[in-house]
Structure 1
Amino acid sequence: MFALVAGFTGFGASAQVPLPDPDLDLIGNGRVTAMLRQADGSLIVGGEFQSINGVPRRNLARLLPDRTLDTAWDPSPDSAVAALAQAPGGGIYVGGYFNHIGSLERPGLARLDGAAGSVDAWVPVIGGAISIAVDADGSVFAVPFQSSSGSIVKLSAVDGTVLPWAAAFEQADYLALDGQGALYAAARQFDSHYPDPTFRATITRRVASTGELDGQWSADLTGPMDSSLDALLVDGDAVYVGGSFGLRKFSRATGEDVAGWNAPSARIAAIAADTAGHLFVGGSFESIHGQPRAHLARLSATTGLPSPGWTPSADGSVGPISVDGDGNVDIAGGFQSIDEEQRVGLGRLLADTTLSPARNDVEAPAKAFVLAAQDDGGMIVGGSFHRAGASAHRNILRLDANGVLDDAWNPSLPSMPWVLAAAHDGTIYAAMNRWVGDAHDVLQASRLARIDGNGHLDAGWSTAADSWIEVLDVASDGSLFAGGAFSTIGGLSRQALAKIDAKSGVPLPAWDAHLDCCSVEAIESGEGDDVFVGGTFTSVDGAARGGLAKLSAESATVDSQWAPDMAGSHVHAIALDHAGALYAGGQLAPVNGERHPLLVKLRADGSGENIPGWHSNFCGGPIPNMLYYAVWGLAIDSNGNLYASGFFCANPFPFTNERGLARLNGQNGLIDVDWNPLGSYEGPVYVEASTSGSIYAAGSFEHAGGMPRGGLAAFAPTLPDRLFANDFDEPLW
């Protein structure tokens, strides 16, 4: 039997079929992007979601005044909703990216009966809307996303036809009416002029009836190229504009900045006003004017300063906000809790700042992101979810040795873990990374948490780093290695690598590898005192090391003999096999003089020589150094087969069959071109071997081996395909 030069086959189609378990429906945050309060106090919410509190509701729902779900109101648009507006007589305009709503074809824009949710006969012809404003006389203004008519259109309220209007070609992102005949449009623009590209936002005012531009009124702001424009509100005598630049206040009369306004520098994504002189703002921030405010604040509409004593907090970004006449505040966003009580994506604060008991979790299918194998065959799964099927599991769960959900193990993490590590005694370590800071002074921060073997979060154990933690590994003595992009961790100065005391969570003061820069992305403890680290560094304690080094786990001393020549390499993944070899994957420069662009196999002892005759053949053989191809993860099953995750191709030029997961022969590096259970590349995949030898994959895939698997699947280990050097299969006799 001949073996293919480009790869190897022989495992059979059954090897691609996932194991029966795990087969979980992970449920996470849906997204609400628009809210509309009705005259009776009901609230319409639109966005991108599949259910509310487990009740199917696709992208649009109505909550009654007591915030219970209106079970009879269900237009069910087939894609996301971006904008809502009130029509005279109680109707509702809905804009977005859908093609059908209420079982009728209405590409991106429709009018509904506000009480019944039925779609009426109004049929616009602009192909969707991302912002809508409706004047008192019923005139409809919209910013379409599929139209040759221009960026602002005026539509007939009778039949939806586009009306002649002077502003038909003005660029806009947000619209607002002032109730006195003027339409305000906010548009983001980018000046790509080299060498200082900038962001610019322009707010214009036009006569709503004619579209005539008010040439005496304009408001502008500029900022760095990565700035965003996120909110527009006209209230009283002011025009408010929010974004990553903060919150600006302009005079409605002149367009000039209002004197005495203390502009918050926090990233503001939503603005709402009450009748008592307050502004409610939401976004991604930890403080306002130096006062702790987590993603939500109430400000003085006169000064811009936060209201003392009004301190509700969310654990994630806040988007749309709606305030009623009694001071009750509805908020939506990317949070999972408000004031430490579960409220997924939607919540209501009463006028006295207490949290309403009404709970309407906005849900969508979620995916697993990271895995950690336990000694007993169990697997820890991390991601951004709050349910697994009918069971509440917040951001982390455990599967037993058979892949079945362990409901008794339920620690509940406050945010998604990006990195996990399992100790021999059952302890789990989790790193939760997040963005913090105001406006452009953004900091990537990380916090370590510890979970005991029974699934209880240790509230007294925590370590913080000033930037991301990207990898964790438990040392043979029970200590914890942490690698990442940080420069301080636990209050100590450490460049990208630290060893942490497992009991106290404090980095060991005497253990410092003295990396020169950059990041550590892979750590693997070896036999005895050895620990291997990979990343983007170029030297360790003054010794040149091109992204890969071998250290003493006890002293952090670099192994002077083990020094593979791979300067310029970025090592993202490391795996050790049972025969004393080390696999290193990433984006690699030549290794010891040989080209191994994505993956190499080295001796773990000696000087780190290449294993003779071992060459991974991604893309069918030698590939160019493409920046977008890389290996990000490695795992070895119980039969010695190697699994690589990342982004790469399996077939030769023109480099087709791109995928995120591949299986390679551990003996020679040949890729199995027929083993592709996840199909074409859909996003990052995390791969991990259980101690039973099965291979687990987590990521953004929907199917595995042709079977439904929502981002989490396991595969049985397979027998290795043994090849002679002459490429003939080894005989069985």
Structure 2
Amino acid sequence: MRSSKRGRMSARLIHSAHSAIMALICAMLHWSMGGLTMSDDRRSFRVRGLCRSRWRSILCCHALILLGALFSAPMHAQQYAAVVLPVPDVRLSLAGDVKAVVRQSDGKLVLGGSFDLVGLEHRQNLARFNTDGSLDVSWPALANGTVNALALDAGDHLYVGGAFTEVNGIGRNALAKLGPDGMLDADWNPAPNSIVNALLVSGSQLYVGGAFGNIAGSARTGVARVSVSGMGQLDATWNPAPNNSVLAIVEAGSNVYLGGSFSQVSGTARLRLAKVSALGAGLLDANWNPSADAIVNTLALDGSGSLVVGGVFFNIGGLPRNCIAKLDPAGTGAANASWIPASASFGCSVRALAADGNGAIIAGGSFSTMGGLSRNNLVRLLDSGTVDSGWNPDVQMQRYLTLVGVHAVLPLAGGAVQVGGNFDTVAGNARFGSARLMPDGSLDASFSAAIDRLGDVRTLAFDPISGHTYVGGSFELVNGSQVHRNLLRLANDLSLDGGWTANVNGPVSALKVDQTQRVYAAGAFTRSDLVVRNYLARFDASGVLDATWNPNPNFFVEAMALSVDESNLYLGGAFTQIGGQSRNRLARVATAGTGSPPDSWNPNANSSVLAMALRPSDGAVYVGGAFSVLGGLARSFVGKIGNDGTVDASWAPNLNNFVEAIDVDPRPPLVKRGSAGSIGVGGDFDLAAGVAGALARNGLVNLLPNGTGAFDSLQDASPPTGSRVQGLGAFAPEVYPETLNWICGTFPASNGSSEIGLQVFNAGGQVVIELPVALDEGISDVIAHYYFNRISQQSNQVSTGSPAILVGGSFTLINGQARKGLAAVQLLANQLFANSFE
């Protein structure tokens, strides 16, 4: 169990005391038996009034009494203290999403969005930057949820809208006001009851658009106007009343333009666009009705007063227009017939628009072409509607399956532009979340801060030959500056191996290393650099992609196992084809050649396979996941497959939810005692008492390996209700002689303010270590590490040093130490005696 610092010190003192006492007793016995002479000048030692023989007898008697007292008491099992090692201490992150940018009167920029980090600094969804592009570390503002919109008044008070419930640790639902120093206004609190998407300051009033139905204590759907002062009092008169969300607001004179997902305003049909009065009750313009056929995300006025509209529509203002159009601000709101006749790439989305002050419009979003030219997610449109052919920042995301694009655009003095969004590359250079552009569209190197969100580790693999550790997960950046996309390697001292640059463009869920030091990576990716590799790739020890081996599954791979001779690789996931052959969620591929299936092994699961383990003795494969049918047989989330691909007709445990981890013949079976050879199974299930034995089974169960796969009656405990087990493991005898095994995942802690991410058990099933993580965090994978246990490959000699484990997951705190998703933990052993000294 966990020990406090005082507890660990006490244990060491007790251990030292025992050692000293034992040494003294041994010395007494030795001397009493004639083996010790105590003298200054080689003369025999005599005690006044006693001869040597009688003194020896007395000491011997006392020593034996003391020994009897010590050894007659029962001895404790080996106890351990967990120490988080100084390495690795890396910060793994992904590109954040900047959704709003504003410029203060002093030139400083405020960015809002969805992010956790700016470089190596914690910044939760809000950050301010100095004019030189450096982070303003003195500005304290933060929000506990996504920031969608920002606005400034004449006094540099900042209005923040989004999907949060706290700002600066104080309750503020979706809307807040900050002073120029970043401190929360204690009085101003209109408190809308749902998300805010758009803000616009107009003199002493603030327009608020979003998905709310109530604000400042009154019914208002989608849009409202409140005072910028006092408590944020609602304008009781102005109420256009759209029937759904407002995403964009622009004011021009006495008119206000609204864009969003609504279909009515003031009870009158208006499809996603409306023009209302800024005066009185906000009456709807009876004539202006461009009618977009899909959502409008953003609005902007160009230099001549026309309204530019961006979204996901295909028709607007009576003309076909794909995601962007210019409308007449008067009359019926007709679309400009000559502006961007070539439109944009099919299926695009425009999410940010701004006039640059030089007659052009900067448009950002998700698209690959505009006006017939290649333009990735950002474009400059001239007043004529043609694309500026010389301005091409080329904003991209090197990740698969993510909402890529530019979501905020802010023109700066002199023609520069600040952009924000969810991207990681600008003009071929790494830029995460935000970038500053020169007037010609080239990258301004003065703004290089990475706007990130925390990544996570999902899988670990250790190579005992080289001592390297491989890490896979969902991350792009290490320590705020080094690009490592979803894969990295640690040197044998656990430091980051910066020279190993293998990468893939999506999360890695499973890793294996073979005896030739080739690394297999599986997950949700589609390429490595510019080479297509769908969901499965192999790299050599130098990190070079294997150009030939390409089994090419057609969807995610979640689990892998190597055959004993390493000629075959077993795969589980969500795929339905491998190498062009039908393979439903399970496959066996060759490790030679191109990696095609070598035979007809095809167990055929009806849903995703998330875990697998191969039994070396006979090649049986145990699999778990989300399936209910395996090989045509009913199998609830777990099954056994023979070496020939036939599902075992008898082995049929009945679980009630997903299986995420399987371990074959752990040492001994996991959690408490179990039968030799049983199968440890972990997941998100909860089996009531009487279903799997006398006790409930929460996230973990031991199954007998043969026969019907019965629940192991010797398993006498399980994690608490609500536990989710994502990993199982044990120290192999050649790594550490003491029997230790573990489970990892998320387990409710008794204090309710944290989670337990890891439990380590001894041979008797007692918990010897618990590692707490912060609430709602967890540990996904754990491996035994040789950092403190070097093995002689020739003699197989076991080191008796303290064992170490490497843990990976989604955490920011482990055992009280700050670590971001990856940590090494040394287990320090103490042998304690149960006596009065304790």
How high is the TM-score relative to the length of structure 2?
A: 0.65
1:724 match: none
- What amino acid is aligned across from residue 662 of structure 2 in structure 1? I
2:713 is aligned with 1:643? no
Distance of aligned partners of 1:51 and 1:582 in 2 relative to their CA distance in 1, 3 Å threshold: closer
2:102 match: 36
- What amino acid is aligned across from residue 449 of structure 1 in structure 2? A
Distance of aligned partners of 1:298 and 1:464 in 2 relative to their CA distance in 1, 3 Å threshold: farther
How far apart, in 2, do the equivalents of 1:503 and 1:84 lie?
56
Q: What aligned pairs does 1:290-369 form with structure 2 within 5 A after superposition?
A: 295-296=377-378, 312-315=394-397, 317-318=404-405, 319-323=407-411, 330-348=418-436, 354-364=442-452, 366-369=454-457
In the TM superposition, what is the alpha-carbon distance from 1:87 to its structure 2 partner? Answer: 4.4
Q: State the SS of the aligned residue for 2:81.
A: helix
Q: What aligned pairs does 1:218-297 form with structure 2 within 5 A after superposition?
A: 230-233=297-300, 236-238=305-307, 240-242=309-311, 247=323, 252-253=329-330, 258=335, 264-272=346-354, 280-283=363-366, 295-296=377-378
- What amino acid is aligned across from residue 682 of structure 2 in structure 1? G
For the Cα contact (< 8 Å) 1:85–1:134, is it kept in 2? yes
How far apart, in 2, do the equivalents of 1:40 and 1:19 lie?
44
2:624 match: 534
For the Cα contact (< 8 Å) 1:696–1:715, is it kept in 2? yes
Task: Return the match for 1:661 from 735, 757, 763.
Answer: 757
How far apart, in 2, do the equivalents of 1:534 and 1:286 lie?
40
Aligned residues: 666
For the Cα contact (< 8 Å) 1:466–1:488, is it kept in 2? yes
Distance of aligned partners of 1:254 and 1:614 in 2 relative to their CA distance in 1, 3 Å threshold: farther
Task: Return the match for 1:166 from 209, 212, 237.
Answer: 237
Deviates most, 457-466 or 507-516: 457-466
Distance of aligned partners of 1:322 and 1:31 in 2 relative to their CA distance in 1, 3 Å threshold: same
1:205 match: 275
1:78 match: 142
1:547 match: 637
For the Cα contact (< 8 Å) 1:538–1:568, is it kept in 2? no
2:211 is aligned with 1:141? no
Q: State the SS of the aligned residue for 1:332.
A: strand
In the TM superposition, what is the alpha-carbon distance from 1:332 to its structure 2 partner? Answer: 1.9
In the TM superposition, what is the alpha-carbon distance from 1:184 to its structure 2 partner? Answer: 2.8
How far apart, in 2, do the equivalents of 1:345 and 1:518 lie?
36
Q: State the SS of the aligned residue for 1:508.
A: coil
How far apart, in 1, do the equivalents of 2:483 and 2:182 lie?
34
1:594 match: 692
In the TM superposition, what is the alpha-carbon distance from 1:251 to its structure 2 partner? Answer: 6.1
Task: Return the match for 1:433 from 511, 516, 524.
Answer: 524
Distance of aligned partners of 1:307 and 1:242 in 2 relative to their CA distance in 1, 3 Å threshold: farther
- CA distances 1:574-629 after superposition (whole Å, capped 9, x unpaired): 1122553321222559799736563222333555444332244333xxx6xxxx75
1:715 match: 825
For the Cα contact (< 8 Å) 2:526–2:535, is it kept in 1? no
Distance of aligned partners of 1:474 and 1:327 in 2 relative to their CA distance in 1, 3 Å threshold: farther
Task: Return the match for 2:133 from 54, 60, 69.
Answer: 69
Distance of aligned partners of 1:373 and 1:210 in 2 relative to their CA distance in 1, 3 Å threshold: same
2:512 is aligned with 1:421? yes
Deviates most, 357-366 or 71-80: 71-80
Q: State the SS of the aligned residue for 1:507.
A: coil
For the Cα contact (< 8 Å) 2:390–2:440, is it kept in 1? no
Task: Return the match for 1:45 from 111, 129, 133.
Answer: 111
For the Cα contact (< 8 Å) 1:18–1:716, is it kept in 2? yes
How far apart, in 2, do the equivalents of 1:690 and 1:190 lie?
59
Q: State the SS of the aligned residue for 1:688.
A: strand
Distance of aligned partners of 1:545 and 1:158 in 2 relative to their CA distance in 1, 3 Å threshold: closer
Q: What aligned pairs does 1:401-480 form with structure 2 within 5 A after superposition?
A: 401-433=492-524, 447-457=535-545, 464-476=552-564, 477-480=566-569
2:20 match: none
- CA distances 1:321-360 after superposition (whole Å, capped 9, x unpaired): 3456987654322222235421111224556655444452
2:784 match: 690
How far apart, in 1, do the equivalents of 2:378 and 2:308 lie?
20
1:95 match: 160
Distance of aligned partners of 1:411 and 1:565 in 2 relative to their CA distance in 1, 3 Å threshold: closer
Which protein is bigger by CA-based radius of gyration? 2
Distance of aligned partners of 1:606 and 1:73 in 2 relative to their CA distance in 1, 3 Å threshold: closer
1:109 match: 177
For the Cα contact (< 8 Å) 1:598–1:630, is it kept in 2? yes
For the Cα contact (< 8 Å) 1:633–1:645, is it kept in 2? yes
For the Cα contact (< 8 Å) 1:338–1:347, is it kept in 2? yes
Q: State the SS of the aligned residue for 2:396.
A: coil
Q: State the SS of the aligned residue for 1:131.
A: strand
How high is the TM-score relative to the length of structure 1?
A: 0.73
Q: State the SS of the aligned residue for 1:618.
A: coil
In the TM superposition, what is the alpha-carbon distance from 1:314 to its structure 2 partner? Answer: 0.6
Distance of aligned partners of 1:504 and 1:182 in 2 relative to their CA distance in 1, 3 Å threshold: farther
For the Cα contact (< 8 Å) 1:378–1:398, is it kept in 2? yes
How far apart, in 1, do the equivalents of 2:232 and 2:759 lie?
56
How far apart, in 1, do the equivalents of 2:175 and 2:359 lie?
40
Distance of aligned partners of 1:280 and 1:161 in 2 relative to their CA distance in 1, 3 Å threshold: closer
How far apart, in 1, do the equivalents of 2:699 and 2:120 lie?
43
In the TM superposition, what is the alpha-carbon distance from 1:34 to its structure 2 partner? Answer: 0.8
In the TM superposition, what is the alpha-carbon distance from 1:527 to its structure 2 partner? Answer: 0.4
How far apart, in 2, do the equivalents of 1:305 and 1:684 lie?
48
Q: State the SS of the aligned residue for 1:23.
A: coil
For the Cα contact (< 8 Å) 1:109–1:127, is it kept in 2? no
How far apart, in 2, do the equivalents of 1:495 and 1:713 lie?
36
RMSD: 5.1
Distance of aligned partners of 1:222 and 1:615 in 2 relative to their CA distance in 1, 3 Å threshold: farther
Distance of aligned partners of 1:156 and 1:598 in 2 relative to their CA distance in 1, 3 Å threshold: closer
2:661 is aligned with 1:573? yes
Deviates most, 679-688 or 588-597: 588-597
2:731 is aligned with 1:632? no
- CA distances 1:373-418 after superposition (whole Å, capped 9, x unpaired): 2132543223314123776544433334554433443435444434
How far apart, in 1, do the equivalents of 2:81 and 2:707 lie?
36
Q: State the SS of the aligned residue for 2:744.
A: strand
How far apart, in 2, do the equivalents of 1:54 and 1:611 lie?
48
1:131 match: 198
Distance of aligned partners of 1:42 and 1:502 in 2 relative to their CA distance in 1, 3 Å threshold: farther
Distance of aligned partners of 1:561 and 1:100 in 2 relative to their CA distance in 1, 3 Å threshold: closer
Distance of aligned partners of 1:18 and 1:538 in 2 relative to their CA distance in 1, 3 Å threshold: same
Q: State the SS of the aligned residue for 1:265.
A: coil
How far apart, in 2, do the equivalents of 1:55 and 1:679 lie?
21
How far apart, in 2, do the equivalents of 1:465 and 1:506 lie?
11
Distance of aligned partners of 1:190 and 1:567 in 2 relative to their CA distance in 1, 3 Å threshold: farther
Deviates most, 75-84 or 207-216: 75-84
Distance of aligned partners of 1:588 and 1:391 in 2 relative to their CA distance in 1, 3 Å threshold: closer
Task: Return the match for 2:469 from 379, 390, 396.
Answer: 379
In the TM superposition, what is the alpha-carbon distance from 1:495 to its structure 2 partner? Answer: 1.3
- CA distances 1:497-544 after superposition (whole Å, capped 9, x unpaired): 233444555432634414142111112232053333222334444344
For the Cα contact (< 8 Å) 2:631–2:647, is it kept in 1? no
In the TM superposition, what is the alpha-carbon distance from 1:20 to its structure 2 partner? Answer: 4.2
